[in-house]
Structure 1
Amino acid sequence: MATMDVFQYDVPAESDFGYAQAIRSGELIHVSGQLSFDEAGEFRHADDFAAQLARTYVNMDRVLDHYGATRNQVVSQTVYVVNLRRNAATAAKGNLGYFGDHRPASTVLGVTELTMPGQVVEISFVVDTRLPA
């Protein structure tokens, strides 16, 4: 029987919207869209794509660390980008820097807006802990 482990940062948005940052079900971890918020749950770096992307990767690592997983176990991701044409090269460079030689399945979507005012990037992903770390 599969077990379920829910991960929360305990930030207001989780209760206000009613979601978990991540849920582990068996060997898979489904991670909600990560964005540029700090440890206190405050959104940071409004309208600064590169800074938001860097902070989003820090938050992705926080989720992975909670589960004892690594970037090499990420099997898919969806990247939501405001002003995709303007930010595509920075997104690609950040992705390559974050994952190195690892290549998860990826979908990049250009969107008109995201939840927080000034938010320009969000990344959701799936982790398979059966893969080598």
Structure 2
Amino acid sequence: MTAIDSYSHGVSGEREFGFAQAIKAGETIYVSGQLSHDEEGAFTHPDDLDAQLKQVYANFEKVLAHYGVTRNQVVSQTEYVVNLPEHAAALSVANLAFFGDHRPTSTGVGVASLFFPGQLVEVSFVIDTRLPA
């Protein structure tokens, strides 16, 4: 039997919607879509993609720290983006800044809208803990 370890940021939306930010099953960590929210879970930076991406990755860093893994162990990310063609260049800049020379797989999905008004991006991740940090 595989042990399951879940992680939450401890913000209100997790309780109301019944989800964890991440679950580790065996050697794989599945990370829910990270978005731009503060310590209390309030959505931040409406309509500002660059600021939202900064916060997305800052929130994701908390998940990495909880499990003691690094961004070099990310094997896949899926980016859900409002008006993807308009924001593709900014996504590239953010990805290169966050991952450096590491190249996980990446899928960009254009969407009509996300949960919060002004939310432009949400990113989910898969991590393989067997990869070198």
When normalised by structure 1's length, the TM-score is 0.97
Unmatched segments (≥5 aa) in structure 1: none
Tell me the equivalent position of 2:127: 127
Q: 2:90 is paired with a residue of what secondary structure?
A: helix
CA distance in 1, matches of 2:62, 2:79: 18
Does residue 79 of structure 1 match 2:79? Answer: yes
Which string of whole-angstrom CA distances, capped at 9 and with x for unpartnered residues, describes residues 68-119 of structure 1?
0100000001001111111110001100110000000110011110011110
State the 1:2 CA deviation: 1.6
CA distance in 2, matches of 1:46, 1:121: 10
Tell me the equivalent position of 1:88: 88
Tell me the equivalent position of 1:2: 2
Task: Report if aligned partners of 2:12, 2:40 keep a CA contact under 8 Å in 1.
Answer: no
CA distance in 2, matches of 1:116, 1:5: 28
Equivalent residues in 2 for 1:1-133 (5 A)? 1-133=1-133
Task: Report if aligned partners of 2:56, 2:122 keep a CA contact under 8 Å in 1.
Answer: yes
Task: Report if aligned partners of 2:8, 2:20 keep a CA contact under 8 Å in 1.
Answer: yes
Task: Report if aligned partners of 2:23, 2:30 keep a CA contact under 8 Å in 1.
Answer: yes
Q: Output the amino acid matched with 1:33.
A: G
When normalised by structure 2's length, the TM-score is 0.97
Stretches of 4+ moved more than 3 A in 1?
none
